[in-house]
Every structure is written in C-alpha cells, then in structure tokens.
Structure 1
C-alpha cells in the first residue's frame, strides 16, 4: 500500500524580506520564536531550527522513510541539507545589520548509515572564522548518543544587502 505525506509552508518572501534589516542573530531568533516563518525546505524535509546563538546553530530531524534512498537508508542529500543549514545559519548568526551571505561551497563526509531506527539527529553548526568578506563554518551531524554521523565544512561569501530604498 502506498504512503503519503502532506505538509504546508508560509510565504518565503516574508523571511527573505527581513534579511539585513536587523542582525543575523535577531533574524534567526525570530524564526525560532515563530515571529518569522521558517523557510519551505524545513517543511519539505521535516526538520527544525532548535537553537541559535552567536556563531552557533542547531537543526534536528526525525529520519523517516520519506528520506530514504534506494538502498534503505537516509539519502546523503538530506544529510547535506541539514549540515548546509547548520553551517549557513551559524554564519548568519554573526552577521551585522545590512549584511547577507551565500554559500560558496560545502564539503561533506558521510561516516555512518542513518535509518528510521537511528532516531532524532542533530546538525550542529559553528563558525570557525569570519572576516568582512568571507566566513568558514563547520557542522556535525550526531545521533541521540552524540555519535558522529557526518561532518561538513562550508565557505560563505558575505555581502551588503541592498536597502529597500536603493
């Protein structure tokens, strides 16, 4: 018998319009508190932004069959998305008002298989270094026993966000 999954999301333009209007940390805290909607990818894959602080972001996901690849485990793209989100939001959390970022690269190492039996996993992102123009972040994916499942590094380009008046 077939399985189904239904989900919904809010207008992504609302949160995108808030980028650069305050600090990056304020933006992320507003998302965690529900004052700004989460991006649609979180609903699509079913993950959440759970914690954020200066230079630090944590996402979590309960692996499900909908995340599986043909060999019966969670697809590496799901890992990569979680790790990219954690590293990117760690960078976002250190940005001043009027500054945005975009990922330049992502390097992922898959270390362990993840299935529905693994239970909730967390992607923990931390800024390693940040300058005026670039930032380097890393993220780890761990299970409930803090066992390392995957690791990633990401370089990000920092840039001024044009004001609405420009």
Structure 2
C-alpha cells in the first residue's frame, strides 16, 4: 500500500502583505515566532525557520522518504529550495520596511548524498555583499556534525514593495 502525507497552509496573500509592512528582520522574527503563518513551501517540504539575526538565517529539515528522488536519496531540488530560502532570507533580514528581495540566480554544489539516515540538516544563509539594487548571499547545508552537504551562492535583486502591499 502506498504512503500518504497530508498538509495544509494559510492564504499566502496575508503573508505578502505583512512582508511589505515591516523591516525584513522583524518580518522574519515574526515568522520564526509563529505570529505569522509560514509560506506554503514550508509546509510542502516540511522545513522550519530556526534562527534569525541581521545578515544570517538558519532553516532546518529532517529528510524523509517524501523528499527522495528515484535512486533513493534526497532530491537536489530539496537542497536547492533550502539553500535558496536561506540565502534570500539572509538578505531580507537586512532590508528596511517597504523593500523586498528575490533571487536572480542560484548556483548549487552538491557534495554528499543525503538520506533519512543522515538525520536533521540545516541551511545556514549569510550575506556576502549588499548594494542598493542587488546583494550576494551564500548558504551551506550541513548535517548534525557540521559536515558540508551542499553549498550555494545567490544573487538577489532588491526592490521596493508596491504601495498596495506595504
């Protein structure tokens, strides 16, 4: 018999409205504290925002079979999603109210195979450089022993949130 997994999420429009109404660090801290609903992707993949400070964030995930590719290990897209979230959120944590970021690119290097036996992993995102219109961030995916599993760099575009969303 097949396995199943059920999840639900909140309306993402309310979250987008909140993002434009506060500084990036405050927005992420509200998410982490559970005072704002997580974005749908967090529930789809089942990862969490664990740490937030200016220029640095940490997401975590416990790999499950639902993350597997056809050869029995965690799909690289799961890694990429975690690393993209960590890198862009690190940038978001430095932005003032009314500004947002989106990824322009993401370069990922996969270094180790991950399975359910790997145990919990963390994606640690940090800002490398930030200008007025773009920022460069990196993220590392590590296991419980801090072994590097994957690494990513991301260029992020910075932009004002439209007034209707602020």
Q: Which residue of 2 aligns with 1:62?
A: 62
Q: Which residue of 1 aligns with 2:51?
A: 51
**C-alpha distance in structure 2 between counterparts of 1:15 and 1:58, whole Å:** 20
| 1:144 and 2:144 correspond | yes
| 1:98 and 2:98 correspond | yes
Q: Which residue of 2 aligns with 1:163?
A: 163
**C-alpha distance in structure 2 between counterparts of 1:61 and 1:71, whole Å:** 20
Residue by residue over 1:80-127, the C-alpha shift from the partner in whole angstroms, topping out at 9 and shown as x without a partner, is 000000001001000011111111000000000000000000000000
> How much does 1:21 deviate?
1.3
Moved more, 13-22 or 99-108: 13-22
**C-alpha distance in structure 2 between counterparts of 1:72 and 1:100, whole Å:** 37
Q: Which residue of 2 aligns with 1:15?
A: 15
Counterparts in 2 of 1:47 and 1:162: CA distance versus 1, 3 Å: same
**C-alpha distance in structure 2 between counterparts of 1:138 and 1:120, whole Å:** 20
Q: Which residue of 2 aligns with 1:74?
A: 74
Structure 2: runs of 5+ lacking an equivalent: none
> How much does 1:20 deviate?
2.4
Point out 4+ residue stretches in structure 1 off by more than 6 angstroms: none
Structure 1: runs of 5+ lacking an equivalent: none
| 1:84 and 2:78 correspond | no
Tell me the TM-score normalised to structure 2 length: 0.97
**C-alpha distance in structure 2 between counterparts of 1:91 and 1:165, whole Å:** 19
